Structure 1
Amino acid sequence: MKNTDLNEERLKDEIAQARSAAQVADASEPRAQSVHYDCKSGQTVIELQNGASFLFPPELVQGLVDASPDDLAQVELTPSGEGLHWETLDVDLSIPSLILGIFGTKAWMAELGSRGGSVTSTAKARAARQNGKRGGRPRKTAQDT
């Protein structure tokens, strides 16, 4: 047997394994059948193959924050249905990650978290006033850590 025959056999085996893994992923992970940007709501809308829909505001996603509606409308679905792609913005996103709430790198997610914590609202102001009347924010105990 030639050395090239062994490589061809190995390649055929690897292709078969990859196809099998893709079938498992297709059956167990969310796959999209369509995607579009809805200008009215300001949301990117993903229609999944199972009939469910997933929407997200682009301002949460790293790389889409300052994008124009025209750029956001240029979203494409990857052939596998597993990802989104914006050619003009050079942004690629994983649909399973989006559904899990992962909108970018760890640093980006930390920034989103800090922005959320700094948001003011009447409920937060009321809670701060109540805590102030009681001597401020409750101290952490050894049990809290």
Structure 2
Amino acid sequence: MQFKNWNNLISEEELDAQIVSAKAVAQESDATEPRAISVRFDRLSRLIVISLKNGAFFSFPPTLVQGLAEATAEDLDDVWLDASGSSVHWERLDADFDITGLVAGIFGTKAWMSQLGCKGGQATSEAKAKASRDNGKKGGRPKKLLQI
């Protein structure tokens, strides 16, 4: 028997070898990447709380996450994990995130993360204003050195 692999045909033996390889990759990922055993929205703290298989907990505010910022508590309650514990899903919000990415602080696309960074850079405080004044007294930001 032969199976279609997009434009090419592969043999049953090659398919079996690919399955064995995929299972090995999955086993390695399970051993080295964070996997979740539960996820919930804590209404009191307004945090998404993920319990990891290694015993650690990871939590974050939904306002940091692309597609969750404007969600209601009911929408955030409607959360589930995939069978492997490698991703989290909000069906009502059509939002899906990889646990490894979330733990690494990746809360959306590059464009979304860039917007988050810009918002943080626009924040003002007395401490930030004082640091800017002090830096100005020293001649301002150092010039970049040209790399040749």
Unaligned runs of 5+ in 2: 4-9
In structure 1, distance between residues paired with 2:79 and 2:25: 27
Q: What is the aligned partner in structure 2 of residue 16 from structure 1? A: 20
What's the TM-score, normalizing by structure 2? 0.86
Q: What is the aligned partner in structure 2 of residue 52 from structure 1? A: 56
3-state secondary structure, aligned to 2:38: strand
Q: What is the aligned partner in structure 2 of residue 101 from structure 1? A: 105
In structure 2, distance between residues paired with 1:110 and 1:141: 23
The answer to whether residue 72 in structure 2 is matched with residue 68 in structure 1 is: yes
Q: CA RMSD in A?
A: 2.1
Superposition deviation, residue 8 in structure 1: 2.2
Stretches of 4+ aligned residues off by more than 6 angstroms: none
Letter in 2 for 1:137: G
3-state secondary structure, aligned to 1:92: strand
Q: What is the aligned partner in structure 2 of residue 138 from structure 1? A: 141
Report the structure, 1 or 2, having the larger strand content.
Answer: 2
Unaligned runs of 5+ in 1: none
Q: What is the aligned partner in structure 2 of residue 25 from structure 1? A: 29
Identity of aligned residues (%): 51
Of 11-20 and 65-74, deviating more is 11-20
3-state secondary structure, aligned to 1:12: helix
In structure 1, distance between residues paired with 2:65 and 2:2: 47
Superposition deviation, residue 141 in structure 1: 4.4
The answer to whether residue 5 in structure 2 is matched with residue 38 in structure 1 is: no
Q: 1:128 aligns with which of 132, 138, 144?
A: 132
3-state secondary structure, aligned to 2:11: helix
3-state secondary structure, aligned to 1:89: coil
Letter in 1 for 2:112: W
In structure 2, distance between residues paired with 1:136 and 1:71: 51
